[in-house]
Every structure is written in structure tokens, then in C-alpha cells.
Structure 1
Amino acid sequence: MHSNPSFPKICTRLITVALLMGCLPTLAVRADSPAESVTFEDNFSDGMDHWKTSDPDPVNKPFWKLESRTDEQGKSNPYLRCTGTSNYQPPHRSPHSIALIKDVVVTDFEFTATIQSTNRDAGAHRDLCLFWGYQDPSHFYYVHFGAKADPHACQIFIVNDAPRIKITKDEATGTPWTDGWHKVKLVRNVESGLMEVYFDNMDQPLMTAQDKHFTWGQVGIGTFDDHGNFDDIRLIGKPKADDSTTAKDE
């Protein structure tokens, strides 16, 4: 699950440049493309130093930790696990357990990951989440992969200095969870406001939304109040320019 044979061919030059600049090998800046982009990849082989969690006391009482599984070749592969509802209390009604990619702020982007829900008894609100446009704990978007859709589950939400509100345009009836791993993809275009969320089927979005409140922010993973696993993170996006403006006040 960790191998990505196309990445070395496409981004060898980028990684070399990043290493020469003293950057982490999972982060590369692409300056020779029409629109400068940043690429971030993490399979947690080097730990979780690239992530900032919402845990109030991550040293003494962490809700995020590294675990490993054995692949078909008998190799041990690490992944990031959220063990349950964090003690973090958000300023507005929104998810409790959040892990954000450090030091990467993007506008347009494509994000992919493999995720596994491990709470089969959670019922209709069995969930994992993805976050983007994250500017602070009161301003961000997230998608809730709930098992069954209702106004508070299996929706795309905005947190705009108020309790989360669903903004889903094309809704799903629910997320087809199993006990196995699933691939997810998130695509964001700030000019049109389009957000597309994919689950296993990378050709047909599970949900879409359209909103322009937040045109930049961090990207991350997590859950509202559940537990599950995350791996094979990949983010390709356009970095926020120094003169980019936030739409918080629009």
C-alpha cells in the first residue's frame, strides 16, 4: 500500500532540490510548472513529526499514535491511528480529533489517502474526516464520512466562527464503510469554489460542494468523535502566496 512507483519518476528532481535546500524528503516545491506547486507525501515511516494534532496534551495523553500492519509481502508498514475522541474542546460545534500537515498552506489542491474506520459499532455516525482551508479552530472546511447521511453526518461542512453548517451540493446516502482500508480523494478549486470528495471510486465524487469563504489553509485528517487509521498521504497543491487574502470577513 505504501509503494508509489510513479512518484520517483515524476518527482526525483523535486526531491533532489528539496534535499539540497535542507527540506524534508517528503516535501518538494515545483518551480518549473505553469503554476508553482508543492508536493507532500507521508507513509509515516519517519514518524509523525510532520503533523500537528488537536490533542491538548500530546505528550502525556496522546490520542494519536503510530501503529503498524503486515503487508502481503510480510513487511511491517506503519500508519497513523486516532485512538478516540480527543480531550480538545473546539470553540464551536465541530470535530474533536484533528491532525494537520505542518507548515504547508495551499489554495488549489488534490489530496489522497487510505483510511480505515475501526468502530464498526458506531452506527449511522461511524466516521472519519478530512479537513481543508483550515485557518484557525474557528475557520475551516471538513467532510464527515458518516455511515448514513443526515444533516449532521456524511456531509461537507463549513465552520465559520459558528457551529458547523452543511454546505453539501451533491449529497450521498452514506459512506460504504467496511472493516478494510479505503482510498479517498479531495479536490479543491478556489476560483470556482468547487470541492469534490471521492471514496474508493476515483472517477465519481461521493459528495460535492461549492463555497469561496476560505481560499487557503492547511489540510488534515481526523474524526468527529470516533477512531480509525490513516496512511499513504499525498498532497499536491498550489501554495498560498504572501499576498493571498482570507475570505473570513467577506
Structure 2
Amino acid sequence: MIWHSLLLTLTLTAAGADKNLSPEDQADLKRLFPEGTTAAEKLDRWVLVTGDFEKHEGRQFQPTDPAAWRITATDRGNVFEQFAQSKYQPPHRSPFNIAWLKDVVVEDFVLTAHVKSTTRDYGHRDLCLFFGYQDPAHFYYVHLGKKADPNSNQIMIVNGAPRVKITRKESPGTDWDDRWHLVQIVRRTADGSIEVYFDDLTTPVLTAQDKTFLWGQVGIGSFDDTGMWDDVKLQGIRRQTR
């Protein structure tokens, strides 16, 4: 199945009333605002985007190279697979394989997905999540690498120059195997916090604090490896436009 037939199921929720959200979605809202919020203007900009890749309707991702991505049938249903290396050269040293979620720009957010690495086992075996996208030279990404070093298993910023790590809490690495795993990013712009979770959604494996980019698109992919994605869910606050 070629790329242009791949579409996400999209639900936009004006969440001024929590009754419009499932218990799970309300829990994510509380993770973004742990002390609670009565800011109606923020809740009115609440957005929920879900994609399990079973249906072909809604908004679509925009890959850096559409030929490197496809819908693949698996024993868990259809998944979004980055199966080849993208023919893409970023303006600065940063990941090559990215699929950006189009038309949704968020400030605070929770991004969750099921992921499976499909490459060989080596020190920099990775998958990545992206956020705060302004343009190809300005964004954040999380590199979930097998073994940590300054360029692997870090929270990174690309700010008009080659990527630089901004991680505060680090971990020894991401224990990739050939199974599916659950990943999540929680981003709060008020204090600039970034939390990354892997399988265990109670304790972050990586954290950072940065306010360089307070809004942007989100995306999925890898630096230079391959992988599968399923059940992608973005919940967050749409960017305030004036």
C-alpha cells in the first residue's frame, strides 16, 4: 500500500467539559496539569488525535521521504512502518527518518505510542519521537538508543546547528529487543519540563527542562534505523494564535 493512502483517524475534542474525555484521557490531562486548571481558554484548545492505522480517514503524517514508510499488516493489525532509509538530508546533523503529524500544532501535550524496533542489535539501535517542530533546523527529539552516550539515548535540541543533548536525568540505555514497547512524552511549557517514559508510565527514564520552543508539530521515526508504530495518540493544547 503506497503512502498517500495512509491516513489517521482524527478526533478534535473541545474539552471545556471533562465529560467529553474518557477516564484515560482525563488522566493524561491531569498529568499535564497536576495541580488542576480552570483556564477555560486552554481547555477549549484541547486536542485529541488517535491513530491505529486500521481506517483510512482523517489527518495524515508527512514523512521526510514518503517512499520509506508504508502500512504493514501484522498479527496486531495494521501498523505504520518505516521500513527503509529516507532519502533526506537535514540542514544540520539530526535524524533522517521523520513522519510529522500535519496540521496539528501543540503547546503542552502527551504523546503516546506502541513501537517496535526492526533493525539489528547494536549500540545506537534507536527509535525517535519529535516535538516542538518549527522548521527542519529547529525542533526537539528524543533518541531512544540501546546504549547511552552524548548522542544516544538523550533528549536533544536542533537549534540552527547540529543536535545537542539537553537531558537532565539520563539512563544507561533503552533495552530494545524484537517486541512491542510503550513510549510516552509529557511536555509542560510553563516550566519547560520534558519527561520520557518507556513501558513504565510512572517513572520517567529521561527528563529535561527547556523553553526554547514552546509550541510545534510532533512526529515519529528514527535517526537512521527502522521500526513500526501503532496506536499513536496525541493529547494536548493547540497553539494559541492571535
The TM-score normalised by the length of structure 2 is: 0.83
Residue 118 (structure 1) aligns with = 118
- With 43-52 and 214-223 compared, the bigger mean Cα shift is at 43-52
Instruction: Indicate if the aligned counterparts of 1:47 and 1:66 stay in contact, CA closer than 8 A.
Output: no
Q: What are the ranges of 5 or more consecutive residues in structure 2 without an aligned counterpart?
A: 1-7, 18-39
Partner of 1:26: 10
Question: 1:25 deviation in Å?
Answer: 5.3
Shift, 1:32, TM fit: 1.7
Residue number in structure 1 paired with 2:102 = 102
Count of aligned positions: 209
What are the residue-to-residue correspondences of 1:1-250 with 2, within 5 Å? 26-33=10-17, 34=40, 35-36=43-44, 37-47=46-56, 50-55=60-65, 58=66, 62-71=67-76, 77-121=77-121, 123-243=122-242
Does the CA contact (< 8 Å) of 1:85 and 1:224 recur in 2?
no
Q: CA deviation at 1:81?
A: 0.5
Q: Deviations over 1:131-184 (max 9, x none)?
A: 000111011000000000000100000000100000000001000112100000
Asked if 1 retains the 8 angstrom alpha-carbon contact of 2:132 and 2:217, the reply is: yes
TM-aligned CA distance change 1:193 to 1:180, over 3 Å: same
- Long gaps (5+) in structure 1: 1-23, 72-76, 244-250
Pairwise CA RMSD of aligned residues? 1.4
Cα distance in 2 between the residues matched to 1:184 and 1:157? 17
3-state SS in 1 of match to 2:81: strand
Conservation of the 8 A alpha-carbon contact between 2:128 and 2:142: yes
**What is the letter of the counterpart of residue 182 of structure 2?**
K
Runs of 4+ in 1 over 6 A off after TM superposition: none
Distance 1:229 1:31 in 2: 31
For the residue of structure 2 that corresponds to 1:235, the secondary structure is strand
Q: 2-side partners of 1:145 and 1:213: how far apart?
A: 21
Query: 2 CA distance for matches of 1:125 and 1:135?
Result: 26
1:47: Cα distance to partner? 4.0
CA distance in 2, matches of 1:101, 1:170: 27
**Is the Cα–Cα contact under 8 Å of residues 147 and 175 in structure 1 kept in the other structure?**
yes
Bigger CA drift: 83-92 or 161-170? 83-92
Task: Give, in angstroms, the shift of residue 98 of structure 1.
Answer: 0.3
Structure 1 SS opposite 2:123: helix
After TM superposition, give the deviation of residue 50 of structure 1 in Å: 1.1
Q: How many angstroms apart in 2 are the aligned matches of 1:222 and 1:120?
A: 16
The alpha carbon displacement at 1:27 in A equals: 2.1
Aligned-pair CA distance for 1:82: 0.5
- 1:104-126: per-residue Cα shift (whole Å, max 9, x none)? 000000010000001133x1000
Contact 1:101 1:219 in 2 (8 A): yes
